[in-house]
Amino acid sequence: MQDPNEDTEWNDILRDFGILPPKEEPKDELEEMVLQMQKEAAVKPYERMNLKDLKEAEDEFDEEDERAIEKYRQQRLQELKSLQRRQKFGELTEIQDVQYVKEVTNAGEDIWVVLHLYKSSIPMCILLNHHLSLLARKFPEAKFLKAIANNCIKNYHDKYLPTLFVYKNGQIKSQFIGIVECGGPNLKLEELEWTLSEVGAITSDLEENPKKKIVDMMISSIRSSSIHHEDDDYHCSPQN
């Protein structure tokens, strides 16, 4: 069945002929917020008031009501700020040196920035750009950037690539320079996610370091090999 509130030419014609009721007007966001604040703050006397009535009755609020409403208002403002951040980012963006101050230093209060200095001829850089592009979509609250190394730092040597800089409030919070520090040529997406989560740039739902499983398997394999080797030595020892 077609939604009678949907914006279509056919629905407009049906409304003109009285076949459909008038379209429901979207409720005022502030009024919705106030009503929700009333509900959560349990402001019982004013639960059924609209925004106009509520404004007229503001003098009747006691201190507890006002504190509850102010607390909820601040919570909603934080939620709206968080939503705005998520709408800004969500992709790995290429920048030039002239954009550094704007995109990194002045990225915004409490904004995490992950900057990848790369060279397209280095395989590890290509791998990192691929992983970072996926993480940018998964964690849109963080800003993911990439820049050709020599465009940002003149004569930056290839031996330092790839390089990852992690910033917050314009300050470097962590850095990973070279293939080894960036995770090695076989770096997995989950491993990079864990690394960035460990320094605080993103909030991951991974419960443990993905590399831990590999390390545990290697230790188990070494122990097993050692036990078999000891058994072989025992069986092969000369008899007195």
pTM over 0.85? The answer is no
Six-digit token pair at 107? 């990225």
pLDDT of 42 reads: 47
pLDDT for position 91: 93
Phi, psi of 141 (to 5 degrees): -75, -15
pLDDT at 5: 63
Q: What are phi and psi of 81, to 5 degrees?
A: -65, -40
pLDDT tens, per residue, the chain with 240 residues = 556 666 676 767 677 666 667 766 655 555 666 666 655 554 444 444 555 555 555 556 667 767 777 777 787 777 776 666 555 788 999 999 999 999 999 998 889 999 999 999 999 999 999 999 999 999 999 999 999 999 888 899 999 999 999 999 999 999 999 999 999 999 999 999 999 999 999 999 998 998 866 555 545 555 555 555 555 555 545 554
Give the DSSP H or E segment for 65.
helix 63-88
pLDDT of res. 46: 44
Please give the span between the terminal C-alpha atoms of the chain, in angstroms, as a whole number: 93
Neighbours of 140 (CB within 10 A): 16
Instruction: Tally the C-alpha atoms within 13 A of residue 202's C-alpha that lie toward its C-beta.
Output: 26
**Res 70: pLDDT:** 76
Alpha carbons 192 and 163: distance in angstroms, whole number: 13
Structure tokens given for 210: 């993905």
Give the pLDDT confidence score for residue 68 in this predicted structure.
72
**114 backbone dihedrals φ, ψ, rounded to 5°:** -110, 115
Strand segments (E) across 75-223? 92-94, 112-118, 143-148, 163-168, 171-177
Give me 8's structure tokens.
């279509």
Angle at 113 between CA 146 and CA 95, to 5 degrees: 30
